[in-house]
Structure formats: structure tokens, C-alpha cells
Amino acid sequence: MSRQSVAKAHQKIQELSWEPQYHEPVSQYGTDYTFRKAQKKDPLKQVLRSYFPMEEEKDHRVYGAQDGAIRGNMFRQVQERWLEWQKLFLSIIPLPEISAARAMPLLFRTVPNPELHNGQAIQMIDEVRHSTIQQNLKRLYMTNYIDPAGFNNSLRNFQSDYCGTIGRQFAEGFITGDAITAASIYLTIVAETAFTNTLFVAMPAEAAANGDYLLPTVFHSVQSDESRHISNGYATLLMALSDESNHQLLERDLRYAWWNNHRVVDAAIGTFIEYGTKDRRKDRESYAEMWRRWIYDDYYRSYLLPLEKYGLVIPHDLIEEAWNQIWNKGYVHEVAQFFATGWLANYWRIDPMTDEDFEWFEFKYPGWYDKYGKWWENYNRLSMPNGHHPIVAENVDYVYPHRCWTCMVPCLVREDMVMDEVDGQVRTYCSEPCHWTDATAFRPTYQGRETPNMGQLIGHREWETLYHGWNWADVVSDMGFVRDDGKTLVAQPHLNLDPKKMWTLDHLRRMGPVQSPNVLLNEMTPEQRQAFHADYIKQGPAGRPAPADA
């Protein structure tokens, strides 16, 4: 920056905006919120003359570290268990990043404060930075890590896979529907302010413990931009709060955004941190401990609670319930178990848990072994092809779950499952808040109020529907998750790269057909459905069938 101070320069660039006199800018996105023009200050106070060199310097550090990692043979010390999960994470995350860029113009016409638009434009290009720098990191992994499969067809995989679909909400929720719901509440107030802490700080720390110091290098660089975006959201939130008529919508959107972020991000990042690590030191933080620190204390207590005095209705019940899910209901463990159950429909390898892992889980989550230990022993036993089916088709005391129509993570905490007929279709939901999101929140009226700009949940939200009646080998071929010999699967339920130990399409060919739980549910009579529901909510933990005498 030249001798002009940033504050003075920032003050000067406020002269750039002007009130249209002849034609109004096009208005393409609607909101049911109302904003009065208010002189809210741009919290970023960013001027491009200093911003560009700052980002360039951050880039120098990132790319310098990448060169160093390659020269220093970092991949000789990287845990394969960890890098395999990055095939999922790094296929997902560039889309949310670029979607955040695309989301910014949703706010231009709906938030009438030109000073904030400056910060939003800088956030836009920040997000282009994040998306491409993450694609580049994945490219580096593909080039230098022992097993490129899964990285090399990353974006096709992500868009065909049920885990990718879960993650895709974290992007699509930013760019459609009511402009404020999407680009402000869901994106900046909840996703960026609360959950990037676990995504971009807690998880990279775990990467470093697994020999990968490039993930922290890239993601801490990203997070240093995110902290500015949080200020963008805060300024918009304060403007929204100043109009009493917005409070009802803010309450709705915080409930939806909080719960959806919890279901999606905790499912994925919790699994990576707890089941993707080889670091089993007893004094390293578990995901639950990280969550308590980063989300409960830093976000909920330090950021959200002080906003109560401005009239923000905070979903205390859902925040406590999210903690309850993680700590008491085993949410992360249930998800990891499901991902491992469906390993064959994925594009990464999932390492079995060992005695050392069991000991750590039992220490961190007392009672873990009784719930999940036996199943993971079965996973280990069935990991190499030896005349049996993949675990999903073997009898291991696990009932294949139904999908949640809203968050698309299966209904794994069985007691919480809700069944309802919505839009002429019987749907299952993992929890009451997800049921409410579909049946009540994403509707053109809310509590008697017209909400014509609210978005819709669309798409083919149950993955199994597409493959109902298909042979598993055809499913995996259709998705393209096959290696270059035309038969070996990209996914494996172990880390052994000996071709003789790897599963192929031939092994899957012997399995029974895929059955869509939702198609089957809709074929049932009402009585059968009630019986199904009564049984389902008695199942678990760890997917166990309902007790016979219950």
C-alpha cells in the first residue's frame, strides 16, 4: 500500500457508488426479508491495492510449502488411511467454495447498502481463490500419492455419489431460494461462522498428525479469508435485525441452517477426524471435544448468544440437541459405520479399525465398544474378498437405513426417524428438524405468512431410487468407480494394494440387486408402513435390528 492509510483509502473508495438516475440494476433474486437503507460500515475495510499483494504473499507461502513437501518426500510419511478420506473431502469442497462466490450477487439488490457490496465482491474473488487452490491441492495429491484412483476422476465421482450429494447441499444451499436465507444466513452466519472452524482448522490439524502438512497449509490460508467473510455476514445480520418483521424469518432460517449444517458437516468432518486418523494419543482432542470448543463455545456462546439482546431468536434447543446427537446418540460413529457399510458405492478406500483404534474410542467415548466394536470386527473380517459378499450383503446385525429426505444422510439415530407423506410421497427424515425443514420451512407460506421467495427442496433425493433393481456391479460401472483394468473397484474396504486382495466387479456380480428403501416404503400398505416405522425406531444403536421382544 502506498503512504495512504488503509482507513483513508477505504473512506475514499466509498465515493465510487452512486444512486441510479436512469435505470435500476437488474433485480434477479427475491427475498421475503425487508431492509431499510442504512449506513452499515463495510467491516472488511479492504482495498484492492493492499488486498492483491496480501493474497499473493499468502500464495507464496502455500506454493513454497508444496514445493518443499514434494522435495522432502512428504508422501513417505502420509497415512493412507487419512489421504483416502481426502478423496471425498477434496471432491466436495471446491463446489461450496465456488458457490459462495456465485452467492454474492444474491445480496446486491436485496441488501441496499453499497458499502457492504464492496466486501461481498472481495468475498467473491476470495472464493474463486479457495476453489482453485483446493483443486490444485487435490491435483498434487493425485500426482504424488501412491493411489491416484478416486482423485483422478474426482468431480465425476462427487456428482454421482451419495456422499457427494450430501456434501452438495453445502453448496447449493448458498445459491438458490430466498436470497437472504441462502447467501446470508445459511452461508455466512452459519456455514462460515460456525462450521468452517471444524472444516478448515480442526480437520487440518488432524491432517498434520497424519503426516500431511499441506492440507493445513492450504486450509489455514483459506481460513484467514473466511474470518473476513464472517464480518460480511454479521453486518447483514445486524441490518436484518433492525427490522422487526424479519425476526420470524430469521428464527426460521437459523433453525434450518443450523440443523442442516450440523447434519451435513458433522457427518463428514466427524468421520474424517475420528475414523480417518492414525493418531490415537489419548490426549489428542476427539471430534466431540473439538466441537465443544470450536462450535459450542466459540460460535454459540461467544457469537450467537450476544445477539439475543438484538432480538435474535436463537435455536438453543437445536444446538443442545446437536451436542446430544454427537455425545449421547453416537451420530458421528453411526455415520462412519454407514459409510463403511456402503464402501463399495464410494471412490476411496476405508481402512478397518484396529485394537488400538478400539482402545482410543472406548477411552474417548465410553461404551463405544459395546455398540460398535463387534461390527468393526466384522468389517475387518470381511474386508478381503474370500468367497463372501461385501459387508452390506452379509448378516452382521445391521439393518440398511432409510435416507433422510432433507439432509440426505441416512436416518441413523433410529429412534429419531420421522415418517410422513409430503407432496404425495411417503418420506423418511432423520429427525424432526429435518422433517420440519421440508414440510414447513421450505414452503411458500410460513406460520400463515406469505413467503413467496422461499426455495424448494428438489432433485432425486434418494440415491438408491436410481438403481432400484440393479445389480451392484452395474451400479458401480454406471457411476464409473472402476480402475483402468476395467474390473477392479476404486473403493476397497482395506488399504492393501495387492491386486489379488482387491475387490472387482466380478465379486459384486454375485450379490443380490440394490433395493431402494423409499421405493419399497411407498409400495407398502398404510398398515405395513406403520409397522415398519414402529420397528425402525426400536432399532439401533449401530444399526442393530429391533429387539425381538420389543
Partner 1 sequence: MTTSQERSVPKPVFTDAEAGAKVFPDSDRRLYNYFTPAKRKQSHYEDVTVEVQPDPRHYLSQGWLYGFSDGRGGYPLDWTVLKAWGSDRPEPERFPGSGGKGYDWPATGWHEFRDPNEEWELTFYRYNSNVVRQLNQNIDNARQSKAFEQWNRNWVRFVERNLGAWMHVDHGLGLYLYANAQRRAPTNMHNNAISVNSMHRIRAAQDLALYNLTLTEEIPDFDGSAHLEVWKSDPAWQGVREVAEQLTAIDDWCEAIFASNVVFEPLVGELFRSQLVQHAAPRNGDFVTPTVVGAAEHDFAERDLRYTRAMFELLTDDREFADHNKQILNQWLSTWTDRAITAARTLQPIWSQPDNKPPRFEDGLDAVKNRFAALVTELHLDVPKELAQ
Task: Name which of residues 423 to 462 contact partner 1 (CB under 8 A).
Answer: 444, 452-461
Task: Say if residue 541 is preceded by a cis peptide, omega within 30 of 0.
Answer: yes
489: β partners: 482
- Scan residues 146-165 and list those touching partner 1 (CB under 8 A): 146-149, 152-156, 159-160, 165
Measured CA to CA, the distance from residue 436 to residue 406 in angstroms comes to 9
Q: CB 548: neighbour CB atoms within 10 A? A: 5
Q: Give whichever of 152 and 197 is closer to partner 1, judged by the CB atom.
A: 152
| Choices 10-18, 250-258, 379-387, 432-440 (CB under 8 A): range interacting with partner 1 | 10-18
Q: What's the grid cell of residue 304?
A: 450467537
Closest approach of partner 1 to the CB of residue 145, in Å = 6
Q: What's the grid cell of residue 328?
A: 449421547
| Among 83, 194, 318, 418, interactor with partner 1 by CB under 8 A | 83
Q: Give whichever of 516 and 539 is closer to partner 1, judged by the CB atom.
A: 516
Neighbour-count burial for 76-114, b at 16+ CB within 10 Å, e otherwise = eebbbbbbbbbbbbbbbbbbbbbbbbbbbbbbbbbbebb
Q: CB 326: neighbour CB atoms within 10 A? A: 23
**What are the helix (H) ranges across 309-354?**
316-327, 331-341
- Scan residues 475-514 and list those touching partner 1 (CB under 8 A): 478-479, 483-485, 488, 490, 497-499, 502
- Scan residues 19-48 and list those touching partner 1 (CB under 8 A): 20-26, 28, 30, 47-48
DSSP code, position 24: P
Q: What are the angstrom distances between the C-alpha of 550 and each of 40, 328, 399, 413, 534? A: 59, 22, 16, 17, 10
Closest approach of partner 1 to the CB of residue 370, in Å = 28
H or E, element range at 85: helix 80-92
| Among 33, 85, 87, 117, interactor with partner 1 by CB under 8 A | 117
Q: Give whichever of 172 and 321 is closer to partner 1, judged by the CB atom.
A: 172
Is there binding between residue 132 and partner 1 (CB under 8 A)?
yes
Q: Give whichever of 284 and 389 is closer to partner 1, judged by the CB atom.
A: 284
Q: Give whichever of 81 and 371 is closer to partner 1, judged by the CB atom.
A: 81
| Among 111, 332, 408, 411, interactor with partner 1 by CB under 8 A | 408
Q: What are the angstrom distances between the C-alpha of 493 and each of 145, 336, 346? A: 18, 13, 10
- Scan residues 171-210 and list those touching partner 1 (CB under 8 A): 172-173, 175-178, 182, 208-210
| Among 121, 305, 313, 505, interactor with partner 1 by CB under 8 A | 121
Closest approach of partner 1 to the CB of residue 176, in Å = 5
Q: What's the grid cell of residue 11?
A: 473512506
User: In terms of C-beta distances under 8 Å and separation of at least 24 residues, what long-range contacts does 5-9 make, across chains too?
Assistant: 6/45, 6/47, 6/50, 7/45, 9/47, 9/49, 9/50
| Among 40, 65, 80, 241, interactor with partner 1 by CB under 8 A | 80
Q: What's the grid cell of residue 406?
A: 432433507
Q: Per-residue x/- mask for partner 1, residues 321 to 360, rule CB under 8 A? A: ----------------------------------------
Measured CA to CA, the distance from residue 420 to residue 142 in angstroms comes to 44
Is there binding between residue 1 and partner 1 (CB under 8 A)?
yes
User: Is residue 225 a contact partner of residue 126, using CB atoms and an 8 Å limit?
Assistant: yes
Q: Per-residue x/- mask for partner 1, residues 208 to 247, rule CB under 8 A? A: xxxx------------------------------------
- Scan residues 293-322 and list those touching partner 1 (CB under 8 A): none
- Scan residues 388-407 and list those touching partner 1 (CB under 8 A): none
- Scan residues 243-282 and list those touching partner 1 (CB under 8 A): 278-279, 281
Closest approach of partner 1 to the CB of residue 446, in Å = 12
Is there binding between residue 67 and partner 1 (CB under 8 A)?
no
Q: Is beta strand 425-429 parallel, antiparallel or unpaired with respect to 449-450?
A: unpaired
Short-list 45, 52, 50, 55, CA closest to 10? 45
Place of cell 499473493: 56
Short-list 285, 150, 139, CA closest to 214? 139
Closest approach of partner 1 to the CB of residue 210, in Å = 8
